[in-house]
Amino acid sequence: MVATSNPPSSALSLGQRIHQAWKKTWLAGIGIYLTLRVALASPNPGEQAWTISPPALSEKPVVISLGLAENLSFDLSMIRNYRALVHGFDPTPTSRNWVENNPLPKEFHYHCLAVAGHDGWLELFERRGKGGRRKGPAFQNAPCRRLFGICWDLGLVKIDVLKMDIEGSEYAALRDILDEGLFPAQIAVEFHHRFEEIGIQKTRQAHQDLGRHGYRLAHMGPWAEEFLYIRQEPASP
């Protein structure tokens, strides 16, 4: 459940670069394109980078990180570079074992729990790389909760960054978050429309829903699957 590796552009073949450009053109044709120009940075530059806008962060930002696996480079960099308080959620044995066996700063709080659009249980699927066209096999039923209730229990009144890489569960979770009026300042999300079981229409609907709630698209990853939305205005009536 980490951001899938993205080779630097210099390492890509001409065909891969053309494919990247084609995907972004295709998305623009259905209304998904950048609408906001802001200063951007990657707290964890490299093959598994996430992108945020540092000027939009508060002095001690609160980060909700959904999907950890064995890579906490984003979370730890947010703590180191921006003095963030990070709550990380991932109920998989891989993540739990990694967290239990590695020293972590006090600003990082691990929760062995999935975040979803409902309270109860969630079927988890094995992670697929960029070439995967279908979900991986189901491997775990995990306890899950809606983010609104979690924030209530933790006493969180503001989220600076919500990072989501949860293998297709992002659509229901995002819809619930917006419906509850829980508006993180920045949402960094990997959409999994490449999976045949999901398809592009779910991403298009999520993009439209975010727009109606004041979010603007500030960044799109090279494979047009990682997106950064920043809230600029109140929700439209």
203-234 tens-digit pLDDT: 999 999 999 999 999 999 988 889 999 999 76
Strand residue runs (E) in 128-234: 138-145, 161-164, 186-190, 215-220, 226-231
Q: Are 63 and 107 in contact (CB under 8 A)?
A: no
Q: Are 212 and 174 in contact (CB under 8 A)?
A: no
pLDDT at 168: 86
Distances (CA, A) of 237 to 75, 187, 207, 233: 35, 21, 17, 12
Is the pLDDT confidence value at 133 over 70?
no
Q: How far apart are CA 121 and CA 140, in angstroms?
A: 10
What confidence tens digit (pLDDT) does each residue in 44-68 have?
987 778 999 999 999 999 999 999 9
Q: What is the pTM of this model?
A: 0.89
Q: How far apart are CA 234 and CA 216, in angstroms?
A: 12
Q: Which CATH architecture best describes the domain 29-231?
A: 3-Layer(aba) Sandwich (3.40)
Q: What residue ranges do the domains of the chain occupy? A: 29-231
What does pLDDT average to over the chain? 88
